[in-house]
Amino acid sequence: MAELGSWRLLVDGQHPGAWNMALDEAVLEAVCAGAVPPTLRLYQWTPACVSIGYGQKVAEFNLRALAQEGIELVRRPTGGRAVLHGEDITYCLCLPATHPVVAGGVVASYRRLAAGLRLGLARLQVVGEPATAVTGVRAPACFLGCNHEELACRGRKLVGSAQWRRDGGVLQHGSLPLSGDVGRIAFYTNLPADEQVALAERLRRAAMTLEEAAGRSVSFHEVAFALAEGLAQALGIRWEASELTSAEKERAARLAAEKYLSEAWNANR
């Protein structure tokens, strides 16, 4: 791809779920307004949090069981199915809808971005395989199946992604489990106990962590910079390490309070 200039890189810290989603939306608004360049934000979640897809029913999850273990729940603005965050790295890429990287629709843009993620994984000595067809199933958890151009390793899903297009902008979320039990999310669903066990086993067969794929423990910062370098190589961009603006933080505070922490947003749809 032709040289596309400098983009902003935010290697962020660990935040609660509502604040993470509010920050992502605030960044998208700033990008759409031309206040900041296209932006990649890489971050983690503390405390652990289940993020459900925009159209998913919160009733699929046992809120009491989550609360007992100090796990939050938040609805994402992006689609897809639920992800249990806490031992993963999440990326959020925000671009104007007119940008050539996201031209041609969702699948075409997934393909371009997946090429960069694959190069990032290669820097970690992990071979990412793009899904060539939709293999997802209707289940509570994202990592049970692959969507277009999501990445697998040795036939098991490794990176889940989802996209949101609105008001002249495109936001793509993605999650890469670093370690832990990819089947754990099953035990916070409202499925009967035997079905939870079966779902957990299916998830463990269908997905894997980066630690398993690489055969070693890999730190957040090592993965963050590998993914950023892979995307820069694939897209023909240069990163400018930066920080959130005061306006983005102020907007995120309002979005967190008024939207992502509200029952109206997180309740059933």
Q: What does the CA dihedral 122, 128, 132, 135 come to, rounded to 10 degrees? A: -160
Q: Is 142 a catalytic residue?
A: yes
Distance CA 186, CA 168 (A): 36
Q: Catalytic residue among 92, 94, 142, 146, which?
A: 142
From the list 1, 11, 27, the residue with the least C-alpha distance to 219 is: 11
Q: Is the dihedral of CA 67, 72, 75, 81 positive or negative?
A: negative
Q: DSSP assignment, residue 188?
A: G
**What is the DSSP secondary-structure string of 35-87?**
SS--EEEEEEESS-EEEEPTT--GGGB-HHHHHHTT-EEEE-SS-S-BEEESS
Q: Which residues carry out catalysis? A: 142
